[in-house]
C-alpha cells in the first residue's frame, strides 16, 4: 500500500472518529465518577492541590494532563469549564491512539492497521467511553504505547527503545492501577512468542539480552514519570508509597466486589450480544468474529513472519488480559477496554486477511462491501449510543449513570437561585449519603454556599434555609425540622435512586409567580 493511500485512509478514519466523538459532548449528564474526577481536577486547577488517593480515583495522569486543555480554554477554575471541555481530554487521547496505531504499519501490515483503526474509530464501547471524563482513554493510549515499544524492544533491543518503553510504562502506571494486569499480559505474551519460536528460528529474540544499562534506563524513565506524578511533582512524597500500597486496596476490592460482581463471561456477552427489556439489540460480534480470523491468519503458513509474530504477540496479550479481567469478579464495563484493544488489533488483521485471501476481482469487492456494512452498523450503534441512549439503562454501556431527570432538578435549583435575593450565594444544604449526592457537587460548583452532610442530625438547623436536597431516607428524618414550610419535589438520580428537593415556601411562592399564565397542555 502506497504512503499516499495509507495516509488518506488514516485521515478518513480520523475524520470518522472525530465525527462520532466530538459532537454533543455535553449532552450526557455527568456520571458519578466523572463528577468525582472533575472536582479533583478542579482542586488542581484552582489551588494547585493534588494528593493521590490510594483508595479511589486511580492515578494522577488524568488530572495533570487535563491542565493544558483547561489552560487552552482560558479556564482559571472549574466554573469556567463545562462537561464538553472536560470530555475533550479523553476524546483527544482516543484520537491520538489512532495515530499510534498508524505507527505499527511495519509490524501489522498497513491494511490491517487501517482495519484496526477503522474498527477502533467506530466501536460503540470505545466511542462511548472515549467521551467519558475518566482514565480509560488515556490508559489505553499508554497501554498501546507500551505494547508497541515493548514489542520493538523485544524485537530489537536498544537503549532508546528501553527509554521510550519505560516512559510509556511509567505513564500507564500513573494512570490506572489495572496496569499490573496489562504489564503481566504483555510480559507473558512476549515470553510465549519467544517460546514458540525457540527451535524454529533460534535467532528470533536471541538478541533479547536486557543488559543492566537497558534495565536501568527502562526503570529510570518509568520511575521518573511515575514518581513525579504520584508525588504531585515532589510536593507530596507519600503519594509514591501510596501508589504501591493502593494495590492492597484494589486487591481487597477485587475479592469483595459487592454490587460490581459479575460472572466471568460478563464482558464477552456484553460485546457479543446485549438487549435489555424491549430496548434495541447491541452487538460487536463483527469485531469478535474478525479477531478469530486474525488469529487464524497468524498461524497460516506462507505469511510474513514479522507480521505473524506481532499478531501472535497481540493474541497472547489479549488472551491473558481477557482471562485475568474475566476472572476478577469486580467488573465495570469500561474495564473491558484494555483487552478489547487487543481484540480490535486482531480484528484488523482478520479483515485484512479476508480481503487478501478473497479471489480477484469480485470476491475482494464482496468482502469489502460486507465489511463496510458491518462497520456502518457499528458506527450506527455508536451514534445511537451517544445521541439517543446516552443515559438510558437499555444501553449496555450505561452503567450506574445519572438520569436525565436529575438535570431537571439542576435546572430547578438554577431557576430558584435566580429568584433568590442572594442568587447563587443562597444557602443549600445537601443531606444524603455520597451515592445519593454525586454528581450534584459538579452541577453546584458555581454556588458558593453549599454544604454536604450524610446525616440529618449533623446538618444543624434548617430554619430559613432556602433549599435542601435530601435522600428519601434522610428526608424522613428531616421532616420534623422542615415542618410544613417546604415544597418537596422528587427527582430521579439513577434507577431506583431518588432525591428530594425541598424548597422553602417563600421562595416557592416567588417561583410560582413566574409560572402564572402557563397554558394548559392537556391533550384533547
- Binders of another protein among 256-285, rule CB under 8 A? 259-260, 276-278
Does residue 36 interact with another protein by CB under 8 A? Answer: yes
Single residue of 17, 371, 427, 468 touching another protein by CB under 8 A: 427
The minimum distance between CB 344 and another protein, in angstroms, equals 24
Single residue of 21, 40, 54, 88 touching another protein by CB under 8 A: 40
Does residue 487 interact with another protein by CB under 8 A? Answer: yes
Q: Candidates 62-70, 209-217, 376-384, 492-500: pick the segment binding another protein (CB under 8 A).
A: 492-500
Does residue 77 interact with another protein by CB under 8 A? Answer: no
User: Contact 456/433 with Cβ under 8 angstroms?
Assistant: no
Single residue of 74, 301, 302, 523 touching another protein by CB under 8 A: 523
Whose CA is closest to 350, among 333, 326, 367, 330?
A: 367
Single residue of 494, 502, 504, 507 touching another protein by CB under 8 A: 494
- The number of C-alpha atoms within 13 Å of 26 and in the hemisphere containing its C-beta is 8
CA distance 117 to 99: 9
CA distance 142 to 100: 10
Single residue of 364, 424, 449, 477 touching another protein by CB under 8 A: 449
Query: Count of CB atoms within 10 A of residue 134's CB?
Result: 22
The minimum distance between CB 24 and another protein, in angstroms, equals 19
Single residue of 434, 446, 463, 505 touching another protein by CB under 8 A: 434
Q: Which is nearer to another protein, 366 or 457 (CB)?
A: 457
- Three-state DSSP at 486 gives strand
Three-state SS sequence of 253-318: HHHCCHHHECCCCHHHHHHHCECCCCCCCECCHHHHHHHHHHHHHHCCCCCCHHHHHHHHHHHHHH
The minimum distance between CB 260 and another protein, in angstroms, equals 7
The minimum distance between CB 272 and another protein, in angstroms, equals 18
The minimum distance between CB 342 and another protein, in angstroms, equals 24
CA distance 335 to 263: 14
Q: Which is nearer to another protein, 356 or 405 (CB)?
A: 405
User: Residue count at the site for another protein (CB under 8 A)?
Assistant: 58
Name the maximum alpha-carbon separation found in the chain: 87
Distance of CA 201 to the CA centre of its chain: 40
CA distance 437 to 425: 20
Whose CA is closest to 13, among 116, 109, 106?
A: 116
- Three-state DSSP at 59 gives coil
Whose CA is closest to 155, among 223, 106, 217, 213?
A: 106
- x/- track of binding to another protein for residues 378-417 (CB under 8 A): --------------xx-----xx--x-x------------
The minimum distance between CB 112 and another protein, in angstroms, equals 35
The minimum distance between CB 269 and another protein, in angstroms, equals 14
CA distance 60 to 317: 25
User: Contact 378/7 with Cβ under 8 angstroms?
Assistant: no
Does residue 490 interact with another protein by CB under 8 A? Answer: yes
Single residue of 3, 47, 199, 496 touching another protein by CB under 8 A: 496
CA distance 35 to 439: 5
Q: Candidates 50-58, 99-107, 238-246, 381-389: pick the segment binding another protein (CB under 8 A).
A: 50-58
Residues at the interface with another protein (CB under 8 A): 32-33, 36, 39-40, 53, 56-57, 259-260, 276-278, 332, 392-393, 399-400, 403, 405, 427, 430, 434-435, 437-438, 440-441, 449-454, 472-473, 476, 487-492, 494-498, 511-512, 515, 518-524
Amino acid at each position: 500500500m502506497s504512503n499516499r493511500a495509507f495516509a488518506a485512509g488514516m485521515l478518513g478514519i480520523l475524520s470518522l472518529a472525530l465525527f462520532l466523538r466530538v459532537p454533543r459532548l455535553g449532552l450526557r449528564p455527568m456520571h458519578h465518577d466523572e463528577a468525582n474526577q472533575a472536582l479533583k481536577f478542579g482542586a488542581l486547577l484552582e489551588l494547585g492541590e493534588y494528593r493521590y488517593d490510594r483508595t479511589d480515583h486511580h492515578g494522577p495522569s488524568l488530572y495533570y494532563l487535563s491542565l493544558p486543555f483547561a489552560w487552552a480554554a482560558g479556564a482559571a477554575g472549574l466554573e469556567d469549564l463545562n462537561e464538553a471541555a472536560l470530555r475533550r481530554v479523553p476524546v483527544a487521547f482516543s484520537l491520538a491512539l489512532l495515530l499510534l496505531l498508524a505507527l505499527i504499519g511495519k509490524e501489522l501490515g498497513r491494511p490491517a492497521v487501517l482495519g484496526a483503526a477503522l474498527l477502533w474509530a467506530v466501536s460503540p464501547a470505545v466511542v462511548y467511553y472515549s467521551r467519558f471524563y475518566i482514565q480509560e482513554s488515556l490508559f489505553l493510549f499508554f497501554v498501546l504505547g507500551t505494547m508497541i515499544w515493548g514489542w520493538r524492544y523485544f524485537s530489537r533491543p536498544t537503549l532508546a527503545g528501553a527509554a521510550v518503553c519505560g516512559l510509556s510504562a511509567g505513564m500507564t502506571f500513573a494512570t490506572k492501577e489495572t496496569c499490573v494486569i496489562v504489564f503481566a499480559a504483555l510480559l507473558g505474551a512476549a515470553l510465549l512468542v519467544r517460546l514458540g519460536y525457540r527451535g524454529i528460528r533460534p535467532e528470533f529474540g536471541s538478541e533479547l539480552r536486557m543488559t543492566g544499562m537497558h534495565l536501568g534506563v527502562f526503570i529510570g524513565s518509568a520511575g521518573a514519570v511515575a514518581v513525579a506524578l504520584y508525588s504531585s511533582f515532589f510536593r507530596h512524597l507519600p503519594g509514591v508509597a501510596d501508589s504501591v500500597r493502593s494495590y492492597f486496596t484494589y486487591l481487597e476490592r477485587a475479592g469483595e466486589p459487592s454490587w460490581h460482581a459479575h460472572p466471568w463471561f460478563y464482558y464477552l456477552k456484553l460485546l457479543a450480544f446485549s438487549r435489555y427489556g424491549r430496548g434495541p439489540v447491541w452487538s460487536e460480534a463483527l469485531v469478535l468474529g474478525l479477531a478469530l480470523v486474525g488469529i487464524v491468519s497468524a498461524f497460516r503458513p506462507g505469511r510474513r513472519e514479522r507480521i505473524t509474530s506481532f499478531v501472535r504477540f497481540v493474541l497472547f496479550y489479549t488472551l491473558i488480559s481477557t482471562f485475568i479481567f474475566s476472572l476478577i469478579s469486580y467488573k465495570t464495563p469500561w474495564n473491558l477496554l484494555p483487552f478489547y484493544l487487543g481484540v480490535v488489533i486482531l480484528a484488523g488483521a482478520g479483515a485484512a486477511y479476508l480481503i487478501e485471501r478473497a479471489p480477484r476481482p469480485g470476491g475482494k469487492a464482496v468482502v469489502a462491501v460486507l465489511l463496510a456494512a458491518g462497520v456502518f452498523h457499528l458506527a450506527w450503534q455508536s451514534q445511537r449510543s451517544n445521541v439517543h441512549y446516552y443515559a438510558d439503562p437499555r444501553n449496555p454501556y450505561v452503567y450506574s449513570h445519572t438520569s436525565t431527570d436529575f438535570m431537571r432538578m439542576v435546572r430547578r435549583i438554577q431557576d430558584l437561585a435566580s429568584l433568590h435575593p442572594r442568587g447563587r450565594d443562597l444557602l443549600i444544604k445537601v443531606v444524603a449519603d455520597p451515592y445519593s449526592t454525586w454528581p450534584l457537587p459538579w452541577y453546584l460548583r458555581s454556588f458558593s454556599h453549599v454544604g454536604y452532610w450524610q446525616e440529618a442530625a449533623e446538618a444543624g438547623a434548617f430554619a430559613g434555609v432556602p433549599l435542601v436536597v435530601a435522600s428519601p431516607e434522610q428526608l424522613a428524618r428531616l421532616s420534623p425540622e422542615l415542618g410544613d414550610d417546604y415544597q418537596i419535589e422528587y427527582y430521579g438520580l439513577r434507577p431506583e435512586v431518588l432525591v428530594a428537593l425541598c424548597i422553602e415556601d417563600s421562595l416557592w411562592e416567588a417561583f410560582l409567580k413566574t409560572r402564572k399564565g402557563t397554558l394548559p397542555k392537556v391533550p384533547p
